[in-house]
Amino acid sequence: MPEKLPDEVSVPLPARIRLSHAYFQNLANANDIDLLHVKGYAFGTEVYAPNRNSTDVDLLVRPAHVARFLYLLKKDGWRSLTTFESGSIFEHAATLYHPSWGLTDVHRYFPGINFYDQAGAFEKLWEKRRLKQIAHFDCYVPQLVDCRNIVVVHGARSTGHGLHSDVLHLQRTLTDAQWQEMRERIREFNSEIAFDAALGDIEKHRGNRQYLFWKSAAEPTPLPLQWLGRLQRAEGLKQKLHVLTNIAEINDDHLAMTLGHEPTHQEKRHLFFERFERILRWKNK
């Protein structure tokens, strides 16, 4: 797990995160890698409420460049905390840690932005990219309407009661015309279902095979229904078998981050059987 930074290299977190954005962009520039800085200080008060802080850097990398980018990071002293497969049910981001720079999430796609055409979705975002200075360094970020849509679909993963605070901020501050622009743009990505899930309108999509998946992402949902949603969303036998395998396996990386140490065999065994106890409790309600 990430060790505490030594006092002699300790830097205030907001400054270190901003400097990390510049570091990543410089690395990408030097190696012909296309990446977009997303969320956090990359979006800033154009999108988020004032005084909102960030604890890591989120990067969306052109899918064809992801493997090379991860190779360069590991060569530069970064180590993996989670892989794409172990990071979340979306399998979208790998988390890496560096003792000086801190944490970063490297995204190979952004959940809610056209899962079924990840390369095409990145290209659409890349075509409308813009430069924004972070730590006095030119970094690539999406156009403003795409930034807003990314924040909205990210809110669809809150699994809480009510709308995510970032979505509520956009509702308070944007005009009807700006929301209409966002809706028109999200249609270009065929991503209306995640957009509506974030706004509490998931029922508009009942009957869509992604309906239960996004409903369980946006709302508290029993574990068996979460699993069913993942299976319904998967295309073809290969993807469905992949989902079943992931459901059956214990996610060692995620468990280690939750516990704060490498899980023991006893802890992994307990988690494995605890899943089925939750299913039985749900069935007996």
Q: Pairing between strand 79-82 and 57-61?
A: unpaired
d(CA 175, CA 170): 9
- How far apart (Å, rounded) are the C-alpha atoms in residues 65 and 118? 13
pLDDT at 246: 75
- Mean pLDDT along residues 54-76: 97
Name the pLDDT band for 171 (thresholds 50, 70, 90).
very high
pLDDT score of 250:
54
Write down the pTM of the prediction.
0.83
Q: Which helix (DSSP H) or strand (DSSP E) does residue 176 occupy? A: helix 176-188
Tens digits of residue pLDDT in 99-110: 999 999 999 999
Tell me, which fold does domain 1-142 have in CATH?
A: Beta Polymerase; domain 2 (3.30.460)
Cα(117)–Cα(135) distance, integer angstroms: 33
Q: E-assigned strands of 53-183? A: 57-61, 79-82, 93-98, 102-107, 130-134, 137-141
Q: What is the structure's pLDDT at 252?
A: 52
Residue 72, pLDDT > 90, answer yes
Per domain, the residue ranges of the chain are: 1-142
| Confidence (pLDDT) at 133 | 97
Q: What's the length of the chain?
A: 285
